[in-house]
Amino acid sequence: MVKEMLQIDLAKCTKCGSCARACTAYVIEMQDPGPVEVHPGNCIECGHCVAVCPVNAIVHEHMDASGFPEMEEPGITFKQFNQLARNRRSIRRFKSELLSKEHAEQILESVRYIPTAENAQELEYLFITDPERVGLIRNEMLKGFKMAFSLVKHFYWIVKSQTSESYARRSRLTGDIAMKKWTDREKTHEDPFFHNAPALLIVHAPKKKVKGITSFAVNDAGIAGYHVLIACETLGIGTCWSGYHTKFANMYGSVRKASLVPKGHMVIASILMGYPAIKYKRDVYRKPLHSRIVGPGDQ
């Protein structure tokens, strides 16, 4: 028997049925006296019932009522939103300035509100704002990179057969140049792996959950990642997604450990951050979309 979680004030309730209609988990049913919590064990705690009630008649015991402030118009037009997305670029030149604690907190507070499949909210966030720790992670990653890169060279034909000739060739050439730049870093101060970013945000979750057959954690982390990229854009923070870090943290225990990711967890997204030392003057260019709108009557 699951304990009821909703306190429904029937004196306030107008019996409009909005809560029952908004409930995706069929927890609420409209009956004679008003809304009734018929399947409390099914609740995913999305809060739709509380948020939709026009007379504030519902309190959810698992959710702090102060977490439901009245909605405010964001005041952003589509044009502004689109411009924000089109202005954003991956930043690979950073100032040495540390990422401020206030900015780190603002980013975490913002990503808290992303949607997740079944409202699972099981992603965890590790925000490394100490450049020394970021450097340590990069150095561990580099050991993995050297190993992986020598395998690419040794087993080039396998990489080629598993991908394409152009991908294999590009990987080999990029790897060669990156290693050369790293070797010359004393002179050039180049960091082809982490771009000298002072901060790294890591999104992770227990491996069992990520790999579970019903899990959408990878999709959730993609949403989280892009949300962070756009939030950072509004704060003047440069970002660069680090696929390298995600891959190597999951391949090598030493990278995971240096990244402070708990054992048994998988990294699902990694984002380098800092204040940009480069400014782009033109919008992002992309190929035309491969897309189709199918309307009424279309086949």
CB 198 within 8 A of CB 97: yes
- Hey, what are 78's tokens? 């589509």
How many chain residues touch ligand FMN (CB under 6 A)? 9
Q: How far apart are CA 103 and CA 101, in angstroms?
A: 5
CA distances from 178 to 21, 40, 183, 194, 203 (A): 56, 56, 9, 11, 26
Q: What is the dihedral of CA 231, 233, 236, 238, to 10 degrees?
A: 110
Residue 123 in contact with ligand FMN, rule: CB under 6 A? no
Helical H runs in 163-252? 165-183, 185-188, 207-211, 217-235, 243-251
Q: Residue from 127, 244, 248, 252 that binds ligand FMN (CB under 6 A)? A: 244
Instruction: Give min distance, CB of 124 to ligand FMN, in A.
Output: 19
Site string for ligand FMN, 75-104 (x = CB under 6 A): --------------xx-x------------
Contact range with ligand FMN by CB under 6 A, out of 8-16, 44-52, 74-82, 241-249: 241-249
Task: Report the distance separating Cα 245 and Cα 264, nearest Å.
Answer: 17
- Interface with ligand FMN includes 242 (CB under 6 A)? yes
Choose the stretch contacting ligand FMN; rule: CB under 6 A; options: 23-31, 70-78, 119-127, 239-247: 239-247
Q: Which is nearer to ligand FMN, 68 or 241 (CB)?
A: 241
Identified binder of ligand FMN from the candidate list 27, 159, 240, 255, rule CB under 6 A: 240
Q: How far apart are CA 257 and CA 95, in angstroms?
A: 27
Among the listed residues 243, 260, 262, 283, the single contact to ligand FMN using CB under 6 A: 243
- Of the candidate spans 139-147, 208-216, 236-244, 254-262, the one that interacts with ligand FMN by CB under 6 A turns out to be 236-244
Give the span between the Cα atoms of 132 and 129, in whole angstroms: 9
Q: Which residue is nearest to ligand FMN, using beta carbons?
A: 243
Residues engaged in binding ligand FMN (CB under 6 A) = 89-90, 92, 240-244, 284
